[in-house]
Amino acid sequence: MTKGSPIIRFEGVSKRYGKVVAVDAVDLEVREGEFFALLGPSGCGKTTLLRMLAGFEVPSEGRILIDGQDVTNVPPNKRPVNMVFQNYAVFPHMSVADNVGYGLKVDGVGGAERARRVEEALALVKLDGLGSRRPDQLSGGQRQRVALARALVKRPRVLLLDEPLSALDAKLREAMRTELCQLQAQVGITFVMVTHDQDEALALADRCAVMNRGLLQQVASPSDLYEFPASRFVADFIGSVNMLEGALVVDEPDHAEVAVPGIDLPVFLDHGVTGAAGTTLWLALRPEKIELHKATPAPPALGDAPAGRNAVAGTITHVAYLGSESLYEVTLPDGQKLKALRSNLTRWDQEDFALGENVWLAWHACSPAVLLS
């Protein structure tokens, strides 16, 4: 099979527990060789979806195909997938090598061959020479590597990862992100990961599926999720956002204008929206796409917007210094609060925006993402 063709297909998959719908009619394709993330708040159904893929849960409705084979009712021990469990589930009474070799032993892979493949797998996750250790002699990070090696040694078609980094501390998590990416590129196996951490999903995945309340919200690449969210939920869940509710007043093929309460002139957009005048819609404006300007009599003019548009005056009511950048909370005269993020490009700020200062906020005509739901 070539890279990019579908390897997993969910067809109208639902899972109900009594009256609770955990997964609601999900249609989804995962492609061969990609790093796919299932992302969503806790209880959104992402783990249930993963467990159905592993075979621990059976769908109430729908079919699951792996490599074109219907595996909906195939038990977990007969599926070409392996899983890295959230708390790693390393067998405490077996050595590292016995843990890694367990799946091969069950498959009847003989002594020498098994030992060789266990060695290989341990080298792959950089645990060479630790085969005789016992799990309680390992750190959390090493235990995770054992769990990875144990699953990869079986050469599964798909590797499933349930919140793989959630149990690690912050520094180690960063390091493991890079390593997981490299590992995936090295083995070329399709990875499907469940996470509630959007940074993790954006950093690791080729594509993400965002879920909420059992429903698939959007399936896209990380940058598309961030820059072109499909709904207010996705825009809000991924990263930080200023959500402006407004009404469509002008809609032309090459531009549109949206009246937003609290902002004097309608917000100017450099593309059409295709909606009836008066339609309620939302503008998702990321904090880093809002510029801060010193208060002057006239609003600053930004390249592609007509003079006076896409700017609003306000007062800085909170400053959070975050090191690489600073987050400013600006309160508009009507009480609305907008967040603006500025990179700290120099070691001390020439402009020095201070608490209580009156400023202009301005953005480009291409910056707001228009949301209809």
Compute the least distance from the CB of residue 108 to another protein, in Å. Answer: 10
d(CA 24, CA 300): 48
User: Which one of 86-94, 222-230, 265-273, 286-294 is the stretch in contact with another protein (CB under 8 A)?
Assistant: 86-94
Distance CA 361, CA 315 (A): 10
Say if residue 254 is exposed, middle or buried (CB neighbours under 10 Å; 0-12, 13-18, 19+).
Answer: exposed
Instruction: Find the binding residues for another protein in span 58-77 (CB under 8 A).
Output: 75-77
Candidate list 19, 93, 171, 347; residue touching another protein; CB under 8 A:
93
Least separation in angstroms between residue 83's CB and another protein is: 5
Q: Which amino acid is at 98?
A: D
Q: Does 87 sit near another protein (CB under 8 A)?
A: yes
Please say which residue, 55 or 229, places its beta carbon nearer to another protein: 55
Nearer to another protein, 59 or 135 (CB): 135
Question: Per rule CB under 8 A, is residue 103 in the interface with another protein?
Answer: yes
The nearer residue to another protein, 142 or 242, going by C-beta atoms, is: 142
Give, as ranges, the residues between 10 and 69 that touch another protein (CB under 8 A). 54-56
The least distance separating another protein from the CB of residue 143, rounded to whole angstroms, comes to: 12
For residue 163 the two structure tokens come to 């919140």
Which string of x and - marks every residue 106-125 that binds another protein (by CB under 8 A)? xx------------------
Which CB atom, from 109 or from 365, has the smaller least distance to another protein?
A: 109
> Can you tell me which of 82, 144, 198, 212 binds another protein, judged by CB under 8 A?
82
Q: Closer CB to another protein, residue 92 or residue 323?
A: 92
Sign (positive or negative) of CA dihedral 216, 219, 225, 229: negative
**In the complex with another protein, which residue's Cβ is closer, 58 or 355?**
58
Nearest to 182 by CA among 100, 220, 126: 126
Mask 144-163, x = binds another protein (CB under 8 A)? ---x--xx--x---------
Please calculate the CA angle 239-240-241 and round it to the nearest 5 degrees: 120
Q: Which is nearer to another protein, 100 or 180 (CB)?
A: 100
b/e per residue 10-33 (b: at least 16 CB within 10 A) = bbebbbeeeeebbbbebebbbbbb
Using the rule CB under 8 A, which residue among 6, 24, 29, 102 binds another protein?
Answer: 102
In whole angstroms, what is the distance from residue 204 CA to residue 206 CA? 7
Q: Which residues bind another protein (CB under 8 A)?
A: 54-56, 75-78, 81-83, 85-87, 89, 91-93, 102-103, 106-107, 134, 136, 147, 150-151, 154
